[in-house]
């Protein structure tokens, strides 16, 4: 842990962008919290409060600020995006891509408001977690979260009452589950909701992750009516109703992801995509042996300043439940021996290179989930749902500041004065730079105090007390 004797330069530089969101006292707490998210290894309220060794305050004041301060998460988010938009490298560009994904914020114990027992595919087991849905922006120069929302588990009593009010029949035989198996009762009600969610009165009873995704995207395109950025997502979000929403309601391009066991329509019926790929590979090798044109063509795309090579099949096909789609099958090995990836797109004239480039920009949201957790995304200890929301918004803000730095020449000059090593453009590298700046400030503080006649024991006493807490 590096004790803080002052607010880091990065936070001082960017804090004025957010002054309008807070009262004067709350603004000071805001600067302390963001500083702690960057510098402290412990991202909890206790861990953040403990690293301040000069302006020492009780932990409860920072906790109350997070739990009770009336600042608006929406206003904070707007200021964050205005800041990013003010820098040439981080503003939204015509070639940018939106990606939609979610991540589990795992916690041990059930005492957090609206926490749920959810399946974690990475651990292949159920865990107690909140589920965070993120809309992320990416281009070749930058990436950052645009907006986010926490999924909330459906409440059985509310669903039951709402479904009855909407005129949806609940089977009498299922009522016994209310007492004998509440989990199955809730699952039955959610299934009933899902079958009737096309009705407006039913839809408002509960928001699935897909509906949250629709809400985030609808809000973005309402605020940016002239932008028609493509949207990309993984296999879980590649569902017919969601794709129809993007194509018919928002009228924006999308690139979805299919799995090998999804199906494609062929002349004699339907075929699994992995079988279709196997057939195409055989035809491809046969064509090469006979001197004919290949079915998989070599292409190169530019991604984040690097060239990437793929061997791609691209043609319009009918996909069951999706209708006509531009289907892209990619391999990375020239002999097509590696596992294939399958993408679909609603733009039937687009080619494999453009579709592959857009889908490649889904990866930064995964990086954000990983690096965001290093910045404290899942390290909150507050139990109140609104306070958890504020913590997540402040982590998104912190990540965005770290992504803004490489494009801010004035700030770069300041940050390189004491730390001369050349750093990369990742959020993690600029977090390490800020930690190095904090260490320099600490050393300067000690040297100044000693030069003014204080003893080493006097200087070190508050520092040691903080470290030994």
Lowest mean pLDDT among 78-92, 184-198, 227-241, 417-431: 417-431
Q: How far is CA 3 from the centre of its chain?
A: 30
Q: Which two tokens stand for residue 400?
A: 């965005």
Q: Distances from the Cα of 91 to the Cαs of 86, 126, 143, 192, 365, in angstroms?
A: 7, 39, 10, 43, 17
Please name every residue paired with 135 in a beta bridge, in sequence order, or none if there are none: 100, 147
Q: For residues 206 and 354, what is the distance between their CA atoms, to the nearest angstrom?
A: 36
Give Cβ neighbours of residue 453 (< 8 Å, ≥ 6 apart).
none
- Please report the pLDDT score of residue 161 as a whole number: 93
Q: For residues 348 and 317, what is the distance between their CA atoms, to the nearest angstrom?
A: 9
Question: In this structure, how many other beta carbons lie within 10 angstroms of the beta carbon of residue 355?
Answer: 25
DSSP secondary structure letters along 107-123: -SSS-STT-EEEEETTT
Beta strands in 56-194 (DSSP E): 97-106, 116-120, 125-138, 143-151
Average predicted confidence (pLDDT) for the chain? 91
Q: For residues 343 and 316, what is the distance between their CA atoms, to the nearest angstrom?
A: 11
- Please report the pLDDT score of residue 418 as a whole number: 61
DSSP secondary structure letters along 162-182: HHHHTT----GGGTTHHHH-H
Q: At what angle do helices 385-404 and 363-374 cross, to 10 degrees?
A: 110
Q: How far is CA 321 from the centre of its chain?
A: 28
pLDDT tens digits for range 105-129: 998 777 899 999 899 988 889 999 9
Q: For residues 292 and 312, what is the distance between their CA atoms, to the nearest angstrom?
A: 16
Q: What is the mean pLDDT of residues 10-32?
A: 95
Q: Is 157 exposed, middle or buried (0-12, 13-18, 19+ CB in 10 A)?
A: exposed
| Higher-scoring residue by pLDDT: 197, 234 | 234
8 A C-beta contact, residue 441 and residue 5: yes
pLDDT tens digits for range 380-409: 988 999 999 999 999 999 999 999 999 998
Strands 97-106 and 231-233: parallel
H or E stretch including 306?
strand 306-319
pLDDT tens digits for range 193-203: 989 988 888 88
8 A C-beta contact, residue 114 and residue 153: yes
Q: How far is CA 427 from the centre of its chain?
A: 14
- Please report the pLDDT score of residue 47 as a whole number: 87
pLDDT at 463 over 80: no
Which pLDDT band holds residue 468 (cuts at 50, 70, 90)? Answer: low
* Per-domain boundaries in the chain: 9-82+383-467, 103-230+365-374, 254-358
């Amino acid at each position: 842990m590096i004790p803080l004797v002052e607010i880091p330069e990065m936070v001082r530089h960017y804090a004025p962008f957010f002054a309008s969101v807070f009262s004067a006292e709350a603004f000071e707490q805001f600067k302390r919290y963001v500083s702690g998210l960057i510098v402290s290894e412990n991202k909890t309220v206790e861990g953040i409060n403990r690293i301040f060794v000069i302006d020492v305050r009780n932990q409860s004041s920072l906790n109350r600020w997070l739990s009770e301060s009336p600042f608006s998460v929406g206003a904070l988010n707007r200021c964050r995006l205005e800041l990013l938009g003010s820098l040439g490298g981080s503003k939204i560009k015509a070639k940018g891509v939106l990606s939609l994904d979610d991540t589990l914020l795992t916690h041990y114990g059930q005492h957090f408001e609206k926490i749920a027992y959810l399946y974690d595919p990475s651990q292949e087991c159920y865990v107690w977690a909140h589920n965070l849905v993120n809309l992320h922006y990416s281009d070749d120069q930058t990436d950052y979260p645009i907006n986010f929302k926490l999924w909330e588990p459906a409440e059985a009593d509310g669903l039951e009452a709402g479904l009855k009010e909407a005129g949806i029949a609940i089977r009498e035989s299922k009522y016994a589950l209310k007492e004998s198996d509440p989990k199955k009762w809730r699952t039955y009600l959610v299934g009933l909701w899902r079958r009737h969610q096309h009705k407006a009165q039913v839809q408002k009873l509960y928001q699935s992750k897909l509906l949250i995704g629709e809400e985030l995207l609808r809000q973005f395109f309402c605020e940016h009516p002239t932008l028609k950025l493509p949207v990309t997502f993984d296999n879980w979000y590649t569902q017919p109703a969601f794709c129809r929403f993007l194509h018919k309601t928002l009228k924006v391009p999308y690139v979805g992801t299919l799995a090998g066991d999804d199906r494609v329509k062929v002349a004699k019926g339907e075929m699994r995509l992995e079988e279709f790929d196997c057939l195409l590979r055989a035809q491809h090798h046969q064509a090469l042996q006979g001197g004919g044109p290949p079915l998989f063509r070599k292409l190169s795309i530019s991604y984040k300043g690097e060239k990437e090579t793929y061997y791609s099949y691209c043609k319009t096909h009918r996909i069951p439940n999706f209708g006509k789609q531009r289907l892209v099958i990619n391999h990375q090995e020239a002999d097509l021996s590696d596992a294939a990836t399958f993408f679909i797109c609603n733009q039937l004239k687009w080619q494999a290179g453009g579709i592959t480039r857009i889908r490649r920009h889904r990866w930064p949201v995964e990086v954000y989930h990983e690096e965001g957790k290093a910045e404290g995304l899942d390290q909150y200890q507050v139990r109140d749902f609104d306070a958890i929301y504020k913590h997540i918004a402040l982590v998104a803000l912190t990540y965005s500041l770290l992504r803004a730095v490489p494009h801010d020449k004035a700030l770069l000059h300041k940050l390189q004065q004491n730390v001369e090593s050349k750093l990369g453009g990742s959020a993690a590298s600029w977090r390490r730079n800020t930690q190095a700046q904090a260490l320099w400030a600490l050393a300067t503080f000690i040297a100044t105090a000693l030069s003014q006649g204080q003893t080493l024991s006097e200087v070190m006493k508050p520092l040691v007390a903080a470290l030994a807490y």
